[in-house]
Structure 1
Amino acid sequence: MKNFFRKYYTDLFLGTRLFIAIGVCVTLFLFSFFIPILGDLPYFVFAVLMALVFVDLLLLYLTERGVFLRREVPERLSNGDDNELKIYLENFYGFPVSIGIIDEIPFQFQKRDLWFTTSLASREQKSISYLLRPTKRGEYDFGLTRLYVQSPLKLVSRRFNITGDKIVPVYPSFLKMRQYELMAVSNRLTDIGIKKMRRVGHSMEFDQVKNYVPGDDYRTINWKATARKGDLMVNSYTDEKAQHVYCVIDKSRAMKMPFEGLSLLDYAINASLILSSVALIKEDKAGLITIAEKTGSIVPADRRPMQLNKIMDVLYKEKTRYLEADMEALYISIRATLKQRSLVVFFTNFESMSALERQLPFLKRIAKFHLLLVVFFENTTLKSLSEKPAENVEGIYIKTIAEKFAFEKKLMVKELTKHGILSMLTPPQNLTVNVVNRYLAIKARQQI
């Protein structure tokens, strides 16, 4: 009896139509006391209702597994991107059904209203798609999927609990990385905001000797090859390859600040992954260093096919620390790891000039041996406050303070430039495009 109760009664829910019908029966019984002409009509209506409920129960419970469901989740999710998930449905009943679906998605999304409704004819198949945007890396636990099935009578509904427990890891933004890879391979990076850089002078990387065509530079004519072949031949050059590009990520408390759901650390991680991918496509060697109160992970620069997966696996585990970055440890790590002149892209954040001055001596030492690009973030909230007109005395005070902080950021750029350090002040949402643009500009100008 207990098993029967657990199997059937706990999954039985009364529908809206049944409550309306019960209300009609109660009304008829009530009026029958005052209107004798109604006679046995209330009893007849109630009997018909009970018969319909019994038929509805038979329709729903005679088939053991009336509806098939499968949740289709990717093996991993991309942080900060819209990831597509699907729910596949198939109706095994011999009649059309109406279905309500509750999908128990991970608690990190903080969504309790993920409810889908659909209808299926007999033997019909259907897929429902929806998007999820994770904002933290780590493991996400998916729970049950609950179906509420109604027959055409819609008096009661039967619940199916589909076990779909699955733990899915959320990795740095690999969806955008693939998009940038495709754009870079097809030379269509301009479609997503990447500027086309004019090459300055000639690269020292010799490619081949080819026949002259109108438009080739006369200065590249190879006179010896021309004399041997009897036709004009020119030397062809290509971008220098196998240059070292290191992304250095600050994991200290300065990178904890949130922006549109993601922390600055997550923006830096996503940009580092994409920059490493573009560098490998350009046949450079990509590496990674993370730093907080001590040196974190170090991935030596390489351009083997598995290098990008190695970098992604390291970035997946990184978390924000709550102490200040140890720049001396970073300098020692760079000197020990980087054996030749490299491009070092340092992702960090400064909110005051004093914070920059504490790190400046070590940044100058790094810049003596490598091409250092310091990337820090523009506070978009303060910028919007500084541009908003003040309406009262309090507004004037807030606007003045916001303008002061915004001006300090510009002073930081000038201070770094004064010491021969490349810098970039960027809003978080434009970080990836701006960093890739700067890398391509450095390559075009042959600064490494």
Structure 2
Amino acid sequence: MRIYPTAAAILLMALGAPLALGLALVAARLWLLGPAWIALVAALLFLDVLLAPGRRSMRLTLAGPGSLASGAVQGALIEAGFPRGVAPGAVEFAVDLNDRLEAAPATGRARVHERRAGLRIDLRALRRGEGRIHRVSARWRGPLGLMWIQRDDRLEQVVPVTLDIAGIKDEALRLFSRDPSVGHRLQLDLGGGSDFHALTDFRPGMNRRAIDWKQSARHGALLAKEFHVERNHHIVAAIDTGRLMGQPLLGRPRLDHALNATLLLAYVGLKMGDKVGLFGFDARPNIASGVTSGPNAFPALQRLASKIDYSAEETNYTLGLTQLAGQLSRRSLVVVFTDVADSTSAELMLENVGRLLRQHLVLFVMMHDEELAAIERKAPETADDVSRAVVAAALMREREVVVTRLRRMGVEIVEAAADQVGPALLARYLDLKRRDLL
């Protein structure tokens, strides 16, 4: 519990000095009224503290979420109760969080109704990890409005910030639904690919090249071959976990967007019978799951992805991609999530990607940096705006050069906004699978 004067009390106390000076100029003996004034104000402050409500009986609580998905927003309620005595007219609240969480508003005022005051706030999860609510504070004035009574409760309440697994599954189900707003149902198995599945009656609209003339002659009816998409492909998500991937895009780190897209791809790939693996690297490899198969493997990949933390180290493409190539025993689809900041690191990356391309199909996932594009497009108003626009344009130009060189090498490219990178990656994966390029 802390007690300190309000601005009104400080102003009232400060009036004693000019009052004493003015009275002394009129009559020397009246200067004693100045100290008397200060003593009177001090007595009023003491009386305000004695009459202040809730000094001992006030209860302060916070009801918040047990956990949050990265980028999600959920409500919480800070409440102050005054079960005994006189309740104040209003209470001001404040909450102290660590860097994984953000509150809106972080401070606020609420009126007391039926001996309770509550402030609703929105908690936003900024980064994965252990979010903490360090402290909740409430303060209110005494009945004379001269003193603040403040209560600080140290909670150290943990709110784990995790990957948005529910959102990943919902997105996968949405893509495979018959909802007209999404589009026609994706035919994942039959009707495409190169693996023979069965013979079926030839129907109008089917490809005539699929007719099996020998079996048709034997059965006396037109029969066509039905194919399904080939299964058992190897898909490895190679995720750059270095410094640049920790930078935010659309309110969330690039790494979180990459992990969500990876898990969406893994969820669908495992359902379709392919084998999926996870590989992470920054200055050195830090995660290597090997390829796993079957829908039951998804929880293990989910737990492994949740352990990938943000790093402040620069990415070593030579070590990371060389070790990845050594772990791949057969042709695989290698999905690389990264971001390039300078030409030196880009050259090293391109050199090692070229080695991967000799045996594997490589797909690069690049996220549009809308903030960088907005800086480049903004009409300059000051010299600093011009400098920022020039730097932004140079970075975007270097990025475009890297993308162009990757395309010429034969690398598949997915470019999308950060919040749409998952569906865009999934669409390209299905396209490659139907074209039998895996």
TM above 0.5, yes or no, is yes
Residue 442 in 1 paired to residue 432 in 2? yes
CA displacement, residues 203-245 of structure 1 (integer Å, 9 cap, x when unaligned): 3467788899x87737678999999999999887654444332
CA displacement, residues 414-448 of structure 1 (integer Å, 9 cap, x when unaligned): 32233322123445455334323322332343321
The 3-state SS of whatever aligns with 1:164 is strand
User: By how many angstroms is 1:273 displaced?
Assistant: 3.3
Q: Which of the numbers 288, 311, 317 marks the counterpart of 1:320?
A: 311
The match for 2:206 is: 217
- The amino acid across from 1:421 in the alignment is V
User: By how many angstroms is 1:404 displaced?
Assistant: 5.9
CA displacement, residues 73-107 of structure 1 (integer Å, 9 cap, x when unaligned): 323x333x133141264746377763332222225
| 2:267/2:295 contact within 8 Å kept | no
Q: Which moved more, 1:113-122 or 1:87-96?
A: 87-96
User: By how many angstroms is 1:367 displaced?
Assistant: 2.0
Task: Decide whether aligned partners of structure 1 residues 328 and 88 sit closer, same or farther in structure 2, where only a CA change above 3 A counts.
Answer: closer
CA RMSD of aligned residues (A): 5.4
User: By how many angstroms is 1:348 displaced?
Assistant: 2.1
**For the residues of structure 2 that align with 1:238 and 1:149, how far apart are their CA atoms?**
70
Task: Decide whether aligned partners of structure 1 residues 252 and 87 sit closer, same or farther in structure 2, where only a CA change above 3 A counts.
Answer: closer
The 3-state SS of whatever aligns with 1:202 is strand
Q: Which of the numbers 257, 266, 269 marks the counterpart of 2:259?
A: 269
| 2:4/2:148 contact within 8 Å kept | yes
Residue 301 in 1 paired to residue 295 in 2? no
The match for 2:404 is: 414
| 2:100/2:130 contact within 8 Å kept | no
Residue identity over aligned pairs, in percent, reads 19
The 3-state SS of whatever aligns with 1:144 is strand
**For the residues of structure 2 that align with 1:329 and 1:50, how far apart are their CA atoms?**
67
User: By how many angstroms is 1:314 displaced?
Assistant: 4.1
Residue 335 in 1 paired to residue 326 in 2? yes
- The amino acid across from 1:250 in the alignment is D
- 1:377-392 correspondence to structure 2 within 5 Å: 377=367, 380=370, 383-384=373-374, 387=377
Task: Decide whether aligned partners of structure 1 residues 110 and 130 sit closer, same or farther in structure 2, where only a CA change above 3 A counts.
Answer: closer
Q: How many residue pairs are counted as aligned between the two chains?
A: 415
User: By how many angstroms is 1:344 displaced?
Assistant: 0.9
CA displacement, residues 278-336 of structure 1 (integer Å, 9 cap, x when unaligned): 43454533211112333221012223435345444444333335344142552343332
The 3-state SS of whatever aligns with 1:73 is coil
**For the residues of structure 1 that align with 2:4 and 2:386, how far apart are their CA atoms?**
59
Q: Which of the numbers 162, 177, 184 marks the counterpart of 2:168?
A: 177
User: By how many angstroms is 1:247 displaced?
Assistant: 0.8
Task: Decide whether aligned partners of structure 1 residues 391 and 298 sit closer, same or farther in structure 2, where only a CA change above 3 A counts.
Answer: same
**For the residues of structure 1 that align with 2:218 and 2:114, how far apart are their CA atoms?**
79
CA displacement, residues 143-175 of structure 1 (integer Å, 9 cap, x when unaligned): 122233579997766544444222333334446
| 1:364/1:421 contact within 8 Å kept | no
**For the residues of structure 2 that align with 1:399 and 1:51, how far apart are their CA atoms?**
59
Residue 78 in 1 paired to residue 102 in 2? no
Q: TM-score, normalised on structure 2?
A: 0.69
Residue 148 in 1 paired to residue 139 in 2? yes
User: By how many angstroms is 1:394 displaced?
Assistant: 11
- 1:173-322 correspondence to structure 2 within 5 Å: 173-174=164-165, 176-184=167-175, 186=177, 202-204=192-194, 217=206, 239-253=229-243, 255=245, 259=249, 262-302=252-292, 303-305=294-296, 307-322=298-313
The match for 2:23 is: none
- The amino acid across from 1:316 in the alignment is K
The match for 1:362 is: 352
- 1:44-123 correspondence to structure 2 within 5 Å: 56-57=51-52, 60=54, 65-67=57-59, 69-75=61-67, 77-79=68-70, 81-87=71-77, 89=79, 91=81, 93=83, 98-107=90-99, 114-122=106-114
**For the residues of structure 2 that align with 1:151 and 1:206, how far apart are their CA atoms?**
83
**For the residues of structure 1 that align with 2:220 and 2:60, how far apart are their CA atoms?**
75
Structure 1 portions without partners, runs of 5+: 1-9, 25-45
**For the residues of structure 2 that align with 1:83 and 1:394, how far apart are their CA atoms?**
34
Structure 2 portions without partners, runs of 5+: 16-40
The match for 1:165 is: 156
Q: Which of the numbers 122, 128, 142 marks the counterpart of 1:137?
A: 128
- The amino acid across from 1:131 in the alignment is L
**For the residues of structure 1 that align with 2:244 and 2:304, how far apart are their CA atoms?**
23
Q: Which of the numbers 375, 378, 385 marks the counterpart of 2:365?
A: 375
Q: Which moved more, 1:14-23 or 1:369-378?
A: 14-23
**For the residues of structure 2 that align with 1:99 and 1:301, how far apart are their CA atoms?**
56
Task: Decide whether aligned partners of structure 1 residues 70 and 216 sit closer, same or farther in structure 2, where only a CA change above 3 A counts.
Answer: farther
**For the residues of structure 2 that align with 1:287 and 1:371, how far apart are their CA atoms?**
15
| 1:344/1:373 contact within 8 Å kept | yes
Task: Decide whether aligned partners of structure 1 residues 108 and 211 sit closer, same or farther in structure 2, where only a CA change above 3 A counts.
Answer: same
User: By how many angstroms is 1:363 displaced?
Assistant: 1.6
- 1:421-436 correspondence to structure 2 within 5 Å: 421-426=411-416, 428=418, 430-436=420-426
**For the residues of structure 1 that align with 2:355 and 2:246, how far apart are their CA atoms?**
26
User: By how many angstroms is 1:142 displaced?
Assistant: 1.8
User: By how many angstroms is 1:115 displaced?
Assistant: 1.5
| 1:172/1:266 contact within 8 Å kept | yes
Task: Decide whether aligned partners of structure 1 residues 23 and 441 sit closer, same or farther in structure 2, where only a CA change above 3 A counts.
Answer: same
